[in-house]
Structure 1
Amino acid sequence: MKYLEKVAQFICRNMTLWVVICSVIAFFNPEPFKPIGKYISYLLGIIMLGMGLTMSVEDFRLVFTRPKDVFYGVFFRYLIMPLVGFGVAKMLGLPPALAAGMVLLGACPSGTGSNVMTYIAKGDTALSVTVSSINTILAPVLTTYIFQLLAGSMIPIDIVALLVDIVKIVLIPVAIGVMLHTVAPNLVEKLTKVVPAVSVIFIIAIMASVVALNASKMATMALILCLAVALHNTAGLLLGYFSGRAVGMSKKKSRAITFEIGMENSGLAVALALAHLDPMAALPAAVMTVWEYVTGSLLASYWGNKPAEKVQADAVLAIK
């Protein structure tokens, strides 16, 4: 088991590198990766099950003890990023499929990586975990209807099928994971040392598949696609932090909100785009998977390496 844990840590620690390597291979040799496409929703379901295994009823305690902080995290998440995605798509004049993909990416809940980045940045990790959990639970309704509102005129959308898919891919696996964590905590504690690596492997497979399915289109749209994703992510991180500060949050809390808004559940966006939209709509989410971990880790490291006295001052503010 110790050996498996070390392998798992190695895989997780170098996730961005593996995503880049496998995506490059899939771009130049797409055929072996294309068949993965039809299994993406199942892979993502397992990823969400893994997320559920790391969650417990305790993660929702802040909803009652700090409801204002949690509300701001959820409200800003579902307000800022869909509008930023819509605005970037309009500003750059993206084709309908790519534009819809940008909106869908923004309308998805925050990604699990936000919790890790908040921890590295010495932010309010408890707030990050709670906001991620609530965002994920609300996704079937909020993601579906926000996407319909902003992208309904861009591309045909089957709203009911989209909602049902989010319930199947996100809500049910997460609920099963939380239930298992509750009834068999000792077993789950052992599993969660290896489960993150399984999730990373599946994320790599999903991203490589998306690149393979869209290799020819990526060759002609790489520049505009990267620009759109960079603008989306940068705006999310900046607006996340300053929105938190604007409503009176401490720096420690605002760091958590920054990653909750700036880091997307891009895997979910990929699965939904492939299932319900043009395959090209999955490209923004595929690129974001790499981009957000690069920018997120750089920002988290910068904040995490601040002098100790500043971190302690932030911690005092967070208690108030």
Structure 2
Amino acid sequence: MDSALTTVGLPIALAIIMFGLGLGLTVGDFRRVAQHPKAAVVALACQLLLLPLACFGLVVLFDLPPLLGIGMMLLAASPGGTTANLFSHLFRGDVALNISLTAVNTILAIGTLPLITNAAIRYFDQADTVSMPLSEVVKVFVLILVPVGIGMLVRARNAEFAGRMDKPVRIGSAVILAILVLGILLDQRENVGDYFADVGLVAALFCAISLVTGYLIPKLAGVIESQAIASSMEIGVHNGTLAIFVAVEVLDSTEISVPAAVYSLLMFPMAALWGAFVSRRVAAREPAPAA
């Protein structure tokens, strides 16, 4: 991609998105997880343990090229995106749980994202060509935590303003992600067909596994329906912008960012279809109102 887009535009884009996430967070969101931990613990276990294992299984099964395999694992390690809250709201999920999960998962990703990504780099024997230095990791998460903190502070000082900004920031985040995806695909236009052939099916399967796992495992654990839907959206709608940023700025590889770009194209229609299916089933099970 063009250097101005990566060195200036991409950090600004990530900062805007993380600021928007902070506008929807309060200290109470973290407290809520501690007070009602079951749904959050089950969802986080799916996100941090089951999904990386499932993704690794797909990478090995489909024998992905090393850089695309690393990109898939980076995506699996990325926390939920801000759009998960919108999907949860649309399809009768517990939005408060989404917000809490996003907050906690973003903090946990400081450790889990480099751990999982570095494990993938070692597995594919790419340590000589791709690296994730500690100094760069620190920069990435300063870029995440500072805007989130500022957003939370703005909300604490002026909740009305934060509420007004919620919709514009969400729309802006979606537009920013679309521009990033387009930029990656244009930069890699000579290889786009091969990349979709290599990683398109894997990304679609991983998205389906993420959405279904995020719903079924909590349901099996006895979590209520609205929380299972929230978990499904949180786990299925990954923070593609963060994965793209780490791939391009930290790992210095546009090719590693391709799986996140492809996944981002697929996850919105897949999450919408899945949400419509699940919410329709919920509506069908609810008793009709009395005449």
**Shared fold (TM-score, shorter chain, > 0.5):** yes
Matched, 1:98 2:68: yes
1:211-250 map, 5 Å: 211-250=185-224
Task: Give the drift of 1:82.
Answer: 1.7
In 2, Cα distance between the equivalents of 1:102 and 1:312?
42
1:186-201 map, 5 Å: 186-201=160-175
In 2, Cα distance between the equivalents of 1:76 and 1:245?
12
Matched, 1:289 2:281: no
Deviations 1:160-207 (A, max 9, x none): 134213312322211111111112223323322422222222222211
Alignment gaps of 5+ in structure 2? none
Task: State TM-score, norm by structure 2.
Answer: 0.89
Kindly report the root-mean-square deviation, in angstroms, between the aligned alpha carbons of the 2 structures: 2.1
In 2, Cα distance between the equivalents of 1:145 and 1:50?
26
Task: Give the drift of 1:95.
Answer: 0.9
Deviations 1:182-239 (A, max 9, x none): 1222332332242222222222221111112211121323222211101111111222
Q: Structure 1 residues 74 and 110 mapped into 2: Cα distance closer, same or farther (>3 Å)?
A: same
In 2, Cα distance between the equivalents of 1:162 and 1:92?
31
Matched, 1:267 2:241: yes
Q: Structure 1 residues 307 and 178 mapped into 2: Cα distance closer, same or farther (>3 Å)?
A: closer
Determine if contact 2:26/2:156 at 8 Å carries over to the other structure: yes
Task: Give the drift of 1:107.
Answer: 0.5
Matched, 1:120 2:94: no
Match of 1:252 in 2: 226
Q: Structure 1 residues 197 and 239 mapped into 2: Cα distance closer, same or farther (>3 Å)?
A: closer
Letter in 2 for 1:112: T
Match of 2:22 in 1: 52
Figure out how many residues of one structure are paired with residues of the other and give that number: 282
Task: Give the drift of 1:35.
Answer: 4.4
1:1-320 map, 5 Å: 35-38=4-7, 39-154=9-124, 155-156=126-127, 157-277=131-251, 278-306=253-281, 308=283, 310-311=285-286
Letter in 2 for 1:99: G
Determine if contact 1:101/1:285 at 8 Å carries over to the other structure: yes
Determine if contact 1:103/1:147 at 8 Å carries over to the other structure: yes
In 1, Cα distance between the equivalents of 2:73 and 2:133?
15
Determine if contact 2:177/2:240 at 8 Å carries over to the other structure: no
Alignment gaps of 5+ in structure 1? 1-30, 314-320
Secondary structure class of the residue paired with 2:81: coil
Q: Structure 1 residues 120 and 311 mapped into 2: Cα distance closer, same or farther (>3 Å)?
A: farther
Task: Give the drift of 1:101.
Answer: 0.1
In 1, Cα distance between the equivalents of 2:26 and 2:161?
14
Match of 1:16 in 2: none
In 1, Cα distance between the equivalents of 2:250 and 2:34?
37
In 2, Cα distance between the equivalents of 1:193 and 1:259?
18
Letter in 1 for 2:199: L
Determine if contact 1:141/1:163 at 8 Å carries over to the other structure: no
Q: Structure 1 residues 286 and 168 mapped into 2: Cα distance closer, same or farther (>3 Å)?
A: same
Determine if contact 1:37/1:206 at 8 Å carries over to the other structure: no
Determine if contact 1:103/1:151 at 8 Å carries over to the other structure: no
Secondary structure class of the residue paired with 2:255: helix
Deviations 1:37-57 (A, max 9, x none): 332122111111111112222
Task: Give the drift of 1:293.
Answer: 0.5
Sequence identity, in percent? Answer: 26
Secondary structure class of the residue paired with 1:215: coil
Task: State TM-score, norm by structure 1.
Answer: 0.81
Deviations 1:255-295 (A, max 9, x none): 22212222211111011001133210101100111211111
Q: Structure 1 residues 180 and 143 mapped into 2: Cα distance closer, same or farther (>3 Å)?
A: same
